[in-house]
Amino acid sequence: MFKEYLFVFVIVLCFVLQLKAQDILTNGEIPDDVVISMEVKSTNRPPGTNYTINIRADGEWIYNSKDTISKKGVSVSGKVEKSQIKELILEFEKLDFFDLKNSYDGKNNLCENHQNIEIISIKFSKHSKQVSNYLGCQGNIQGVLANLGKQIRKITISK
C-alpha cells in the first residue's frame, strides 16, 4: 500500500514540476537567465551555411555563422525589445514546448530531400528543452516549429 501511495506522490510531484516550468514562462516576467537558441544545420549537397542565434533575457542576441565550404564565419549582434522576447516565450508555451518530442526527423512522414535542420531550445532556471525539426517534412507540428524559427529570425537577423 505504501508503494502505491509513493508512486502516486512521485507522479503528482513530476506533474507539478512540469507545470512549474510552464508557469515560469507565463508569470508576466522574463526569467533573468532565459536563453532562447536556434541552430540551423545545412543538409544540402554541397553543404551551405550553418548558423546559431542566441537571445538572452536582456534582449541581447548574437548570430554566428560558418560556411561549411570556405570555413569563413560571420558574427553579428543586436538587441530586441523585451516585448518581443515575451511574445516568443508565449509561443513556446502555446506549443507546450516542454511536452514535445526531442526530434521531428520525418522518419514516418513524407519529406523533401536537402532541407535544413533547425534545433530550437529554451533554457531558464533549472529547466531546458531542445527540439530538432527537419524542415523538409510535412506535418502540423513541423509547420508550427518552422514558424517559431521564422519568428526568431524575424526579430534578430531579418531586421
Cell readout for 70 is 570556405
The amino acid at 103: S
- Report the distance separating Cα 79 and Cα 56, nearest Å: 9
Neighbours of 119 (CB within 10 A): 17
- 12-61 per-position pLDDT tens digit: 555 554 544 455 454 678 888 999 999 998 776 666 678 999 999 999 99
Comparing 104 with 60, the larger pLDDT belongs to: 60
- CA 75 to the chain's CA centroid: 20
- Domains of the chain are 2-155 (3.30.1560.10)
> What is the dihedral sign for C-alpha 104, 94, 151, 39?
negative
Segment 48-96, tens digit of pLDDT:
678 999 999 999 999 998 776 666 788 899 999 999 999 999 899 888 8
Quote the CA–CA distance of 81 and 144 in Å, as a whole number: 23
Q: Which of 89, 116, 92 is nearest to 105 (CA)?
A: 116
* Predicted TM-score (pTM) of this structure: 0.78
pLDDT level of residue 108 (50, 70, 90 thresholds): low
